[in-house]
């Protein structure tokens, strides 16, 4: 029998014959404050136990991957593309990604600038592995996607949050980045942003670029929501003067093509860095299945019309949510400019995001993500995913607002 105990030094397992200790790196990935997923896992457990839960938690589409994409995947598998595939990615997929990036950004891009990865999360891991040495400081914007600090810890880096305030529309300030930059090696940004829905303005990105260049940082730009823009325009910082040589862009088909389970992402960056990251892939993932890559190339070739069709439900639900918020002043929201979420300020209820989310789940079977899951800058907020069909979403959102108003009364 093996008994596991968690200590401040790491995870230990007591076995007959001695003590086995996990590495500090892997036992410290989550961090002292936890990973913020507790309420989500409890909601999933209730659903699996037979309770009817309206899940407005993670960014999972309420539609499945389109049949033509699955048919392309099936055809590729049946044609025999089931063995080891090219580890940097197939030429066909890398060429397709490069062409899409060049068209969207105006930056010359070839397959040599593209590494295919098993999803956007793997791309984030690889990008940080590429730029960080053990113990180096890595900046990221708070609020943040919940895996960011753990990804940095997993490669031996030291995560350093830089707050973006609600009163600034969650747009980070270049001065704050510059103040945190001495001694740092990298900065991670995400626009359109999860969880806030902010789309970074040209002014914000110019200030970010200025700070990055002045302090000789690598910029890792998570752009997986680039097809979900409701206000403003998505600008890739790789297109800004002086930035292509120091920017790694993370992309994915998960959100743009409803292919979350296919695990297909990429990193775009300088040719020399991509070659080094391909060597990392040899020693970690060993590539992505060829039939999935073929389906990904097919999906990308469907063009912007298909991507707009996948994004349309979130635009509709954004409007539903903003309409419901009219006529009350307890629940406040900055209208999300992009992505598939809306961040709600519920501080008028007197509850934290965690407490409000727990109350909503326990009393109304509605699951949301507490703002505290995404960093200190989001305390007193909740994130609502726009990911159930319109009528169910409207009913749940109306209940959420009504509950908040009663709690604040």
The whole-angstrom separation of Cα 285 and Cα 247 is 23
Give the pLDDT confidence of 41-91 residue by residue, as tens digits: 999 999 999 999 999 999 999 999 999 999 999 999 999 999 999 999 999
Q: What 8-state DSSP symbol labels residue 330?
A: S
User: Is pLDDT of 399 > 50?
Assistant: yes
CATH topology of domain 83-301: 3.40.640
Burial of 286 (0-12, 13-18, 19+ CB in 10 A): exposed
User: Is pLDDT of 1 > 80?
Assistant: no
Output the average pLDDT for the chain: 94
Only one residue has tokens 């995913």, namely 385
User: Is pLDDT of 35 > 70?
Assistant: no
Q: What 8-state DSSP symbol labels residue 260?
A: G
Give the pLDDT confidence score for residue 24 in this predicted structure: 86
SS3 category, 219: strand
Residues facing residue 332 across a β-bridge:
345
User: Residues spanned by CATH 3.40.640.10 within the chain?
Assistant: 83-301
User: Is pLDDT of 278 > 70?
Assistant: yes
Give the pLDDT confidence score for residue 15 in this predicted structure: 59
User: Residues spanned by CATH 3.90.1150.10 within the chain?
Assistant: 34-60+306-408
- Which of these CATH numbers, 3.30.390.10, 3.90.1150.10, 3.30.110.40, 3.40.630.10, describes 34-60+306-408? 3.90.1150.10
Give the pLDDT confidence of 149-205 residue by residue, as tens digits: 999 999 999 999 999 999 999 999 999 999 999 999 999 999 999 999 999 999 999
Q: What is the pTM of this model?
A: 0.93
Q: How confident is the model at residue 10 (pLDDT cuts 50, 70, 90)?
A: low
Cα–Cα distances in angstroms (integers) from residue 169 to residues 163, 196, 382, in the given order: 12, 9, 15
SS3 category, 46: helix
Q: What 8-state DSSP symbol labels residue 215?
A: T
User: Nearest 5°: CA angle at 275, between 269 and 277?
Assistant: 75
The whole-angstrom separation of Cα 154 and Cα 29 is 6
């Amino acid at each position: 029998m093996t008994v596991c105990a968690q200590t401040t030094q790491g995870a230990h397992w007591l076995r007959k014959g001695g003590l086995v200790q996990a590495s500090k790196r892997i036992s410290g990935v989550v961090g002292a404050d936890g990973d913020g997923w507790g309420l989500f896992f409890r909601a999933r457990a209730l659903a699996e136990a037979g309770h009817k839960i309206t899940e407005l938690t993670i960014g999972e589409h309420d539609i499945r991957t389109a049949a033509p994409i699955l048919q392309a995947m099936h055809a590729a598998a049946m044609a025999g593309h089931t063995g080891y595939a090219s580890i940097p990615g197939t030429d066909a997929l890398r060429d397709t990604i490069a062409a899409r990036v060049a068209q969207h950004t105006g930056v010359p891009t070839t397959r040599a600038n593209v590494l295919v990865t098993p999803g956007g999360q793997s791309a984030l891991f690889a990008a940080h592995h590429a730029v960080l040495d053990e113990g180096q400081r890595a900046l990221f914007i708070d609020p943040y996607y919940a895996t960011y600090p753990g990804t940095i810890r997993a490669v031996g880096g030291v995560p350093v949050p830089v707050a973006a305030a609600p009163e600034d529309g969650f747009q980070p300030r270049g001065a704050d980045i510059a103040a945190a930059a001495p001694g740092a090696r990298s900065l991670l940004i995400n626009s359109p942003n999860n969880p806030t829905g902010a789309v970074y303005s040209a002014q914000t990105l110019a200030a970010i670029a200025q700070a990055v260049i002045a302090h000789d940082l690598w910029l890792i730009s998570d752009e997986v929501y680039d097809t979900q823009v409701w206000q403003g325009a998505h600008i890739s910082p790789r297109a800004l003067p002086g930035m292509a040589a120091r920017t790694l862009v993370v992309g994915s088909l998960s959100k743009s093509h409803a292919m979350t389970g296919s695990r297909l992402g990429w990193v775009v960056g300088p040719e020399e860095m991509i070659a080094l990251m391909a060597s990392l892939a040899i020693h970690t993932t060993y590539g992505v299945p060829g039939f999935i890559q073929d389906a990904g190339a097919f999906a990308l070739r469907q063009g912007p019309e298909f991507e707009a069709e996948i994004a349309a439900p979130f635009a509709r639900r954004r409007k539903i949510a903003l309409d419901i918020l009219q006529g009350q002043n307890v629940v406040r929201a900055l209208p999300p400019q992009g992505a598939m979420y809306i961040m709600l300020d519920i501080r008028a209820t007197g509850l934290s995001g965690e407490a409000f989310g727990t109350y909503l789940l326990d009393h109304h079977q509605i699951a949301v993500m507490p703002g505290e899951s995404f960093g200190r800058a989001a305390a007193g907020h909740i994130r609502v995913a726009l990911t159930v069909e319109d009528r169910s979403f409207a009913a749940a959102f109306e209940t959420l607002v009504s509950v908040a108003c009663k709690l604040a009364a």
